[in-house]
Amino acid sequence: MRRLILSIVTAAAALSFSTTVQAREKTLTVYTYESFISDWGPGPKVKEAFEKTCACRLNFVGVADGVALLTRLKLEGEKTDADIALGLDTNLISEAKATGLFGPHGLDTSAVKVPGNYSDDTFIPYDYGHFAVVYDTQTVKNPPRSLKDLVEGDPSQKIVIEDPRTSTPGLGLLLWVRSVYDDKAPEAWAKLRKRVLTVTPGWSEAYGLFTKGEVPMVFSYTTSPAYHMVEEKTDRYQAAAFSEGHYIHIEVAGLLKGSHDKDMARQFLKFMVSPAFQDIIPTTNWMMPATKTSAPLPDAFGKLVQPKNTFLMGADEVAKNRQAWIDEWLNAMSLN
Amino acid sequence: MLTKIERRRGIALGLTSLVGIALFVGIAAFALLSWDAGQAQNRLLTAYNWRILQFTLWQATLSTLLSITFALPVALALGRRPAFPGRIWIVRLMALPMGLPVLIGALGLIGIWGRQGVVNSLLLNLGVEQPVSIYGLSGILIAHVFFNMPLAARLLLAALERLPAEYWLLSSSLGMKPFSVFRFVEWPAARRVIPGIAGLIFMLCATSFTLVLVLGGGPAATTLEVAIYQSLRFDFDPSRAIALSLLQIGITAVILAAISRFPAPDDTDSSLGRTNRRFDGRNWKAKLWDVAAILLATVFLILPLTSILLAGAKADLWKLLMSSAFHRAAWTSFAIALSAGLLAVATSLAIISARRALADIRHPGRPAKILSSALAATASLVLLVPPVVLGTGWFLALRPFGDVARFAPVLVAIINMLMALPFVIRILAPAIETHRRRTSRLSASLGLSGLPQLLRIDLPVLAKPLLTALSFAMALSLGDLGAVALFGSGELTTLPWLVYSQLSSYRTNDADGLALLLGAICLGLTMLGTAGQRRAGHG
């Protein structure tokens, strides 16, 4: 009886294993963040467009958000299945390079035009946007006009933010506060904490709570209102322009050293900065394209907040201080 | 009396499970402690860890107090109204949250208590400016009360109903006022069980994972378990995870030690069968009070369940059922649950038979006694070392051997098995004990032993409690998010993990639909389990 039970158990366990093993055909595996591959995100269209050109299968693997993407790669180390990591941002690249998992792309990236003329031998930008607090005009009559306003405003008016340990927007807010407040950042967080309804692991959860009406403000991008203007034909959701300036988010992709088909991975990166990919980005990922699109952007993009001043920290500085700043953030946010 | 061979076999089986479980827990503990333990020591009591610890205990204290405070009037009212319309259904309703996967319950609660939920729209209409928040401490408390108040109410009610009928007769012939009845009859009965119930609830709330993960709302409202999970999954900071794990084990050890001093609450023979005649509480004030207490509790419990049902029904259930993501997750979940369930039952049988064999020794020496209590302790080891800690240990132990996700199904199944073990033993041990007492002499006189005894004497009677235990363990495993959360990834997706990850994208409609399906499956399994138990209990 016992032996029988044991054999059933092993059989069941073995079966659950076998479902995970799939025949490996010519496949390119791209690790990215959750919202990129959602039905309404760029993922499905990118997959279709790329597969037309490569006679291969493009396989997206989604994790909560950009920082989680790096954590996952660190966890998996050299045994990772990923050929491409798409969705880190410039804040993380020093740390990403330090893992030794990424290799040079060896491509000509002169077509890429992002603010600050960012260019790198390992990571290629594919879009960018400025972070911003997006609010619901129906419930927020007096939106914050500066980061200071946000920090010191009415604590009963809530905002949902992302966790800097998992999310690139979360990290962006951390760095933004740091850029403006410098050493006083912990005090600023201790104040802002009272306005925070909840902290989500990724951008999609935060934005989901916002659009469901659970919270009147969310930490997102200056470009987010374009989505509502184009897709929902409404001006209800607006980004708040902050007088200090806005932190910029430049999203990049890189090639994994351990990729089993580097040529195809390079082909994907080339495709990524071509109009075929870039045309998809503005109206699915709702970010600014990194290279020229074949048609001008929808009018809605002309109505967005144009930051007067742009913050961007050096990746080395971020790499050096990220852990300490996150500990500070945890400390300030866990005050009761 | 057992034959020598039977005794040896029993002890051998017990030893095998003992060693197996000890190894599983031991390797995890060893991996935790050997991973730069020095660094973890330095980080044991950082300001952040200290606050997490405080919050963990604070929310557990509040949850326990609230659950018992609300449960007491409900139990008293139900006790005083044996003929309350639909009473049996209300008592059964109170058993539902136990079988409902925590994640699904949380979804239902968000539907009711969220900013767009019924409660807040009502409050808004009444002119209340500040909505009740389902996130942070208030949310965690609401959810803990939702899951634990009914448990407390059932256990209290059982204590009241165990009072002899003469008490009520006497108190009415003495003309005692409601307050006197409370003071001299009901309260003494409740007081005896409250410490045990409070300890149980405190333990459940102090180790709460899923609810805090979903409703926590950031570092200000994080329990140790969630912080352990985050320091591994979010930062990959093993030394912090280890420091927090040590704190967690310390706390559970203290709580368990405290609980062991109280009598264990017991809801066998509960309410469902026996009801006493009550002669008190005939005036309209008492009636109004009781009806209000019962109705409020019922509404509080039924609203989130209804919300799950309604939200789930809006989803395209058929499409979900046919989707490959559902098939994969359901298959994985089922394989894990079945493995965990069968393993739990097999291990429980081994432990029970070994303890029986040891009890059978006429003059047990010290080793036998120690072994017997070690076996009893093993069954509850998972209470001391929570799933997230076990997972963390194995995670670190297996990392050098490649992608941890590959080992995940086996690990999750074993951890689920350990989680189910205390419950399974509680179901099986009394059933087997009764059965043996009735049949051991018969078997001996018939000269039956081994397989024939198993097939002819044991199986027909024990099949039901075995199935009960199996379905209970499977329901527990099917609904579990804690063990799988550490390992969950694209490759390993169980049903709760699917719900959780869909919840986090825009696909909430699908999440609602899946929640309904999963909730229905788990409730079905638990009901199957409790129905069997009841029959076995009376049979």
| B22-26, B435-439, B478-482, B534-538: range with highest mean pLDDT | B22-26
Give residue B504's pLDDT. 61
Using N-to-C axis directions, what is the helix angle for B47-80 and B238-259, rounded to 10°?
Answer: 40
Q: In this structure, what CATH number is given to the domain that contains residue B95?
A: 1.10.3720.10
- Do B406 and A17 make contact, defined as CB atoms within 8 angstroms? yes
Q: Report how far apart, in Å, the C-alpha atoms of B94 and of each of A16, B234, B271, B293 are.
A: 35, 36, 12, 14
Q: For B368-389, give the secondary structure using H, E and C.
A: HHHHHHHHHHHHCHHHHCCHHH
Residue B508, pLDDT above cutoff 80? no
Q: Which of B157, B404, B477 is nearest to A12 (CA)?
A: B477
- The count of other CB atoms within 10 Å of the CB of residue A279 is 18
Give residue B458's pLDDT. 81
Give residue B267's pLDDT. 58
- Compute the 3-state secondary structure of chain B and give helix, strand, coil in percent, each to the nearest 5: 80, 0, 20
Q: How confident is the model at residue B489 (pLDDT cuts 50, 70, 90)?
A: low
Residue B272, pLDDT above cutoff 90? no
How close B259 gets to chain A, by Cα (Å)? 29
Average pLDDT over residues B215-228: 85
Per-residue pLDDT of A137-157, as tens digits, reads: 999 999 999 999 999 999 989
In a domain, B214, yes or no: yes
DSSP code at position A100: T
Residue B535, pLDDT above cutoff 70? no
Which run of H or E residues covers position A181?
helix A168-181
Distance in angstroms (rounded) separating the CA atoms of residues B222 and B219? 5
Average pLDDT over residues B270-291: 75
Distance in angstroms (rounded) separating the CA atoms of residues A199 and B136? 10
Per-residue pLDDT of B32-41, as tens digits, reads: 888 765 666 6
Distance in angstroms (rounded) separating the CA atoms of residues B200 and B194? 10
- Do B115 and A215 make contact, defined as CB atoms within 8 angstroms? yes
Using a CB-CB distance cutoff of 8 angstroms, which residues of chain B are in contact with residue A203?
A: none
Distance in angstroms (rounded) separating the CA atoms of residues A263 and A267? 6
Cα B79-B84-B86 angle, rounded to 5 deg: 115
Average pLDDT over residues B57-62: 95
Give residue B524's pLDDT. 85
- State CA B175 to chain mean position distance: 42
In a domain, B252, yes or no: yes
How close B167 gets to chain A, by Cα (Å)? 48
Average pLDDT over residues A88-100: 91
Give residue B311's pLDDT. 87
Pick the residue with more confidence: A216 or B434? A216
Please tell me if residue A336 touches chain B, with a CB cutoff of 8 Å.
yes
Give residue B361's pLDDT. 79
Domain count along chain B: 1
Q: Which of residues 202-221 of A touch B (CB under 8 A)?
A: 202, 204-205, 208, 212-215
Q: Report how far apart, in Å, the C-alpha atoms of B204 and of each of A18, A162, A188, A206, B110 are.
A: 35, 28, 35, 29, 21
| B211-220, B283-292, B525-534: range with highest mean pLDDT | B283-292
Q: How high is the mean pLDDT of chain A?
A: 87
Give residue B161's pLDDT. 86
Nearest chain B residue to A163 by CA distance is B218
Closest by Cβ to B332, choosing from A19, A156, A196 = A19
Distance in angstroms (rounded) separating the CA atoms of residues A163 and B154? 40
Using a CB-CB distance cutoff of 8 angstroms, which residues of chain A are in contact with residue B335?
A: 12-13, 15-16
Please tell me if residue A28 touches chain B, with a CB cutoff of 8 Å.
no
Q: Flag the least confident range among A241-255, B68-82, B224-238.
A: B224-238
In a domain, B234, yes or no: yes
Please tell me if residue A1 touches chain B, with a CB cutoff of 8 Å.
yes
Closest by Cβ to B218, choosing from A12, A75, A199 = A199
Measured distance between the N- and C-terminal CA atoms of chain A, rounded to whole angstroms: 55
Q: How confident is the model at residue A212 (pLDDT cuts 50, 70, 90)?
A: confident
Average pLDDT over residues B491-508: 74
Per-residue pLDDT of B414-454, as tens digits, reads: 999 998 998 888 888 888 888 888 887 887 788 777 777 77
Q: How high is the mean pLDDT of chain B?
A: 84
Structure tokens at B523: 């409730």
Distance in angstroms (rounded) separating the CA atoms of residues B209 and B315? 27
Give residue B537's pLDDT. 38
Closest by Cβ to B338, choosing from A12, A76, A334 = A12
Residue B118, pLDDT above cutoff 70? yes
- ipTM beyond 0.85? no
How close B495 gets to chain A, by Cα (Å)? 14
Burial B352-385 (b: 16+ CB within 10 A, else e): bbbbbbbebeeeeeeeeeebbeebeebbebbbeb
Give residue B430's pLDDT. 85
In a domain, B488, yes or no: no
Phi, psi of A320 (to 5 degrees): -70, -35
Share of chain B above pLDDT 90, in %: 22
Per-residue pLDDT of B121-132, as tens digits, reads: 888 888 777 778
How close A40 gets to chain B, by Cα (Å)? 9
Q: How confident is the model at residue A24 (pLDDT cuts 50, 70, 90)?
A: very low
Closest by Cβ to A205, choosing from B115, B492, B504 = B504
Give residue A323's pLDDT. 87
Q: Which of residues 154-193 of A touch B (CB under 8 A)?
A: 156, 163, 165-166, 193
Distance in angstroms (rounded) separating the CA atoms of residues B386 and B374? 18
In single-letter form, the type of residue at position B350 comes to A
How close A3 gets to chain B, by Cα (Å)? 10
Longest distance between any two alpha carbons in chain A, whole Å: 75
Burial (CB count within 10 angstroms: exposed 0-12, middle 13-18, buried 19+), residue A329: buried
Give residue A50's pLDDT. 93
CB contact at 8 A, B493 and B329: yes
CB contact at 8 A, B63 and B201: yes
Per-residue pLDDT of B170-201, as tens digits, reads: 888 888 888 888 999 999 999 988 998 999 89
Average pLDDT over residues A86-98: 92
Q: How confident is the model at residue B490 (pLDDT cuts 50, 70, 90)?
A: low
Pick the residue with more confidence: A5 or A280? A280
CB contact at 8 A, A219 and A139: no
Burial A171-196 (b: 16+ CB within 10 A, else e): bbbbbbbbbbbeeebbebbeebbebb
Q: How confident is the model at residue B271 (pLDDT cuts 50, 70, 90)?
A: very low
Nearest chain B residue to A64 by CA distance is B504
Using N-to-C axis directions, what is the helix angle for A168-181 and A203-211, rounded to 10°?
Answer: 90
Residue A20, pLDDT above cutoff 50? no
Sequence-separated (6 or more) residues with CB below 8 Å from residue B474: B337, B338, B340, B341, B525
Q: What is the β-pairing status of strands A246-256 and A310-311?
A: parallel
Structural domain span for residue B60: 46-307
